[in-house]
Chains A and B, each alone.
Chain A
């Protein structure tokens, strides 16, 4: 469902100035912490009043500075899943959900079913008489989700839903959340600093840096061609080098010992950098773009080798756990396919 967000907000030490539009039901905002993601969500929910801008969702104007429209958060029909879930600590799980049902009625959003039904649907019946402090991370998240859904929102805002969770729980819970969201079938905007999370859950992506949008588009397109250095970094590209164009489809990577590389697309004038994702390098000799390794430094992870070449390039090589104690066998050279080289502009934040 179409959403349109244009927000300006100034603070003494930070300013938010962004605009994006999305037609997708699954929108993600990816940015480092402090880039203004939560502030953006709070503006959409009406919890922060922007200095200027317009916020529309599904044809409804939620905020318009010029027309002096500012719908109260209670009436926006926007649900908010807080980073730390913000469950009411002095109420039990069942009371938390009952409160949301009460709010739904007061806000004139119709009946939302019974507390027991909702507890059942979110698999938290067994903890319904407990206080939030006595819940596990996953239970807290389900309770917060259940409470949000109970209020019957049309648009869901998910603020770093996994940041309060242990690493090893995240992947399973991500799939669960994805399923719940698909069942509920409403639009959502997910905010995260975790590119895997966004890539898995969202098909429209907004990249943010320092309160500005630096890239926007379908998730796959943005990951395939981030366009700017900052966007490439945010999407997880570790190898980025300044370049000098040396010929048609040829560039010299200044930060990687001056190696010459062939690119699929010609580097236009505004291209100042190239990027190579660490896993796009492979051992062996391709017809072009062969990079000699030189002296490497290797660090060991359970399923990967992290390899830094002499010229500073960074390579991730798959490894079997059983190889744990064996030595890393160093290839003589690595290669990269021309189409895998990202052409990047220095690109300051896009102005809105």
Chain B
């Protein structure tokens, strides 16, 4: 059994989660500080990928990153690199799809953060970076971790946008989800089932971790999501 899809899925999920951990958290911090109207606009915009069909996300990404589209063409000319139909193309798709999960979970944590702690830090002579990383982030840690794990779980399961932008090439762009579809389509039921079981096992493990953190969180009287 060729384990490339497992390796590729995990690689894509890890990379996109790492990117979104930073971007989603940053977006949460920024949106929290916006005036009410802008907050509504950006909140809506940042949540959109959560409710859009992944195929719509895939379509939009193709319009942007395709070899004849603005960003894709520029990239091809300057770096001689295609942004579609490669294994890392799936990172773009996955990142967009999981962004709302990270953003919303982190924002929940930042919204319930007591702003007086930041003010107290300022009166004590502490700088902004110190306050953010040593006081704010530890207070919101549970929410950030829950968001990260949730995003990772969703990233592993991404199919729709991935299949549009990365396609299915065995040994190159195949992920667990695209492999299952391909095996089922070609009547390889036995192998499809194996991949399904692997997928269920990983997802269950991830959810277990989320529940563990939520349980710990509830003990501290806070809600993670």
Contact = CB atoms under 8 A, between A and B. Distances in A.
A106 B130 CA distance: 11
A147 interface: yes
B207 interface: no
A80 B123 contact: yes
Interface of B: 114, 116-117, 119-127, 134-135, 138-139, 141
Given A47-B119, A80-B119, A103-B121, A86 B114 contact: yes
Nearest to B117: A86
Contact of A73 (B114, B117, B123, B135): B123
A289 interface: no
A147 B125 CA distance: 12
Contacts, number: 72
B63 to A, nearest CB: 43
B138 A90 contact: yes
Interface string A55-93: 000000000000000001111101110101010111100
Q: Which one of A45, A80, A84, A86 has the highest number of Cβ atoms from chain B below 10 Å of its Cβ? A: A86
What is the interface of chain B mostly: helix, strand, loop, or mixed? helix
11 contacts: A45-B123, A47-B119, A73-B122, A78-B123, A80-B120, A82-B119, A84-B114, A89-B117, A99-B124, A106-B127, A147-B124
Nearest to A48: B119
B135 to A, nearest CB: 5
B162 to A, nearest CB: 37
Contacts of B114: 84, 86
Nearest to A88: B135
A201 to B, nearest CB: 21
A47 B123 contact: yes
A89 B139 contact: yes
Contacts of B134: 99
A132 to B, nearest CB: 11
